[in-house]
Amino acid sequence: MAETLRTVETDDVNALDISKRYVNKKGIIAFILYDIANSVSTGNFERFNTDALKLKASLFTLANTIVGIWDIINDTFTGVIIDKTRTRFGKFRPYLIACALPAATIGLLKWFGCYIFPTDAAAEASMAKFAFTLICLFLSETINTFQGVAKTGLLATMTPNPEERIWLAARAAQLSAVIDNIPGIIINLIYDMMIQKKIHIGYKGFYTSVASVVTVVSVSLSLYFFMNVKERVVQSIEKPKVKDGFISIFRNKPMRILLISEFLGAFSVSVDKNDYFIDVLGMSSFGTLTEVPAAPISVISYGWINAMRRKFSNKFLWILTSHMDAVINIVAFLFGIIGGTGKNGWYNQRWKMFFVLFPAELVRKTFWGVKNVIPGEVLYESIDYCEWKDPAGVRNEGVILTARGLMTKLVSNTTGSLKAWIKSLFGYDYYSSGAQTQKVKFSLFALSFMLPAVMSLLSVFPKFFYNITPEVRNQMYSELQTRRELVTLRKIDAMEQKISEEENV
């Protein structure tokens, strides 16, 4: 039988065309809906604690710190477990269904904690409430890590056709961009009306209702996605060794460059632009005001991803979109200092800065689609490159994805506290209620525009050495397709041989 299979399939080996599509209509719809469901948040848990759960702030911070450390630790084994998973549904799909129900249960339990424990002032330092919050956050974090790796890995293997993969990612992101803000706007509107006593809903009722609706929708769409999507890239029958995953990262240049670039990018420290908008321009929603008129362009921008890809390589677009913000920030800074660094500087004037930042937003939104799709594609093609260069065609998505997250988290957790330190360094007065000195105002402006621009340049240099050119990419996918077919056949042969040997014995 194995011989028959081999003859039929090797004769027909070119029939599996890399340019063909493999995801049907249901798969496309399921992926888009799942992507939208993922981008809808159940709300800010810290705000929930202040409003409803009322666990002492220091205990809440302690719980978050412990979970933050656990987040780094669990990255070290999540990828390995996923890489060693072999089921009849594939390697990533099982985690979608296995995690869906526990995630829903833990998620709901977390928000319903305000009904389980007393929330009066006497119960603020309750150890039972602290333990409950800690366990819920701990389990949520673990499940989220598995789901996150499984989702990214699944997108990398949903189709063997890289062009279809880009098309899917672009359509999902485009539709998400239209829809995913709507629930947030509605939730914020209800929250505002609630705090202004225009509608009479308690905090507990508000948070638990939102969590229940979002959880039910999210779980339903996860299950629908699980039922309609398949893994279409072959994984090795033998479970890969842990060290092979790390060797694969360091042996393959594109993956090495990607990780180094992200590691250096994580050092990017900046002062929040919102501080500048509030303390200098006196308007917290100034950023939103400049973004709103340009928002339709961000949706349309997904339409010209293909046109841009025809003219430029993924490498060029990756560098351009990753560092475009830096260039825009530098230009905005140069306009801002017209009139000097004192009171007459443009950076102090709302309307002048609007006419500087609005065109900047237009440019940013023009490349929004490319920015949201191409870096993901660079990651997927780097994973495929590792498979291509591996003699046995082993894929280690799990280890690669978690190693990437681990390095970034290690740095960003360390640099996270630097923001407050930088602000105190130039004399920021936390108790001045918006009345900062002129020197502090200029420092805020300079550090929120120039500092991220300069820090971002750190990660640009490795990207120039990225070696998957369009020619290499074409050759890689063409060879991978043929090899995957043959590898599948060899695997079936080897397996059938093993079975017949066992039967003979």
Partner 1 sequence: MNCPVCGTKIKPWDWRQNCKKCGTNLFLHDFNNRLRAESVQAEKDFLWWTNMTAQFMDYGVRDKLSLARMISSVIPLIILCMPVIAFNGGKMIYLNFLLDAFGGGNFFPEGFGLADMKQYTYLMPAFILLALSLFAATLAFFSVVVGPAFMNFRAAAIFELIGALCAVVGTVLFNFFSVSALSAINPSVTSSFGLYIYCAVMIAETVFMLCFVPYSKKFKALN
Binding residues for partner 1, rule: CB under 8 A, are 9, 15-17, 20-25, 27-28, 86-90, 94, 160, 188-189, 192, 196, 198, 230, 232, 234, 237, 283-286, 288-289, 292-293, 350, 485, 488-489, 491-492, 495, 498-499, 502
Residue 148: C-alpha distances to residues 224, 388, 398 (Å) = 17, 24, 10
Question: Closest distance between partner 1 and the C-beta of residue 395, in Å?
Answer: 14
Report DSSP state, residue 240.
P
Task: Tell me how far apart the alpha carbons of residues 481 and 393 are, in angstroms, rounded to a whole number.
Answer: 11
Using the minimum distance from each CB to partner 1, give the nearer residue, 231 or 262.
Answer: 231
Using the minimum distance from each CB to partner 1, give the nearer residue, 84 or 256.
Answer: 84
Report DSSP state, residue 120.
S
Using the minimum distance from each CB to partner 1, give the nearer residue, 176 or 208.
Answer: 176
- Other beta carbons within 10 Å of 498: 11
Using the minimum distance from each CB to partner 1, give the nearer residue, 188 or 469.
Answer: 188
Q: How big is the chain, counted in residues?
A: 505
Question: Closest distance between partner 1 and the C-beta of residue 362, in Å?
Answer: 15
Question: Closest distance between partner 1 and the C-beta of residue 21, in Å?
Answer: 4
Using the minimum distance from each CB to partner 1, give the nearer residue, 14 or 58.
Answer: 14
Closest C-alpha to 219, from 362, 103, 84 = 103
Using the minimum distance from each CB to partner 1, give the nearer residue, 409 or 491.
Answer: 491
Own/partner pairs, 5-10, CB within 8 angstroms, 24+ separation: 5/489, 5/492, 5/493, 6/489, 6/493, 9/485, 9/489, 10/486, 10/489
Using the minimum distance from each CB to partner 1, give the nearer residue, 27 or 113.
Answer: 27
Question: Closest distance between partner 1 and the C-beta of residue 188, in Å?
Answer: 8
- Structure token pair of residue 239: 């479970």
Q: What are phi and psi of 33, to 5 degrees?
A: -65, -40
SS3 175: helix
Using the minimum distance from each CB to partner 1, give the nearer residue, 131 or 237.
Answer: 237
Using the minimum distance from each CB to partner 1, give the nearer residue, 15 or 121.
Answer: 15
Question: Closest distance between partner 1 and the C-beta of residue 337, in Å?
Answer: 23
- Structure token pair of residue 139: 């389990």
Question: Closest distance between partner 1 and the C-beta of residue 285, in Å?
Answer: 4
CA atoms within 13 A on the CB side of 475: 7
Question: Closest distance between partner 1 and the C-beta of residue 231, in Å?
Answer: 8
Question: Closest distance between partner 1 and the C-beta of residue 52, in Å?
Answer: 21
Three-state SS string over 336-398 comes to HCCCCCCCCCHHHCHHHHHHHHHHHHHHHHHCHHHHHHHHHHHHHHHHHHHHHHCCCCCCCHH
Question: Is 305 in contact with 367 (CB distance < 8 Å)?
Answer: no
Question: Closest distance between partner 1 and the C-beta of residue 467, in Å?
Answer: 29
Using the minimum distance from each CB to partner 1, give the nearer residue, 362 or 492.
Answer: 492
Question: Closest distance between partner 1 and the C-beta of residue 74, in Å?
Answer: 22
SS3 54: coil
CA-derived radius of gyration, the chain: 26
- Other beta carbons within 10 Å of 228: 18
Using the minimum distance from each CB to partner 1, give the nearer residue, 58 or 351.
Answer: 351
Using the minimum distance from each CB to partner 1, give the nearer residue, 89 or 138.
Answer: 89
If you write DSSP's letter for every residue of 259-304 in order, what string do you get? HHHHHHHTT-----HHHHHHHTSS-TTHHHHHHGGGHHHHHHGGGG
Task: Tell me how far apart the alpha carbons of residues 130 and 135 are, in angstroms, rounded to a whole number.
Answer: 9
Question: Closest distance between partner 1 and the C-beta of residue 414, in Å?
Answer: 36
Question: Closest distance between partner 1 and the C-beta of residue 204, in Å?
Answer: 23
The CA-based angle 34-35-37, given to 5 degrees, is 60
Task: Tell me how far apart the alpha carbons of residues 376 and 371 are, in angstroms, rounded to a whole number.
Answer: 9
- Other beta carbons within 10 Å of 45: 19
Residue type, 83: D
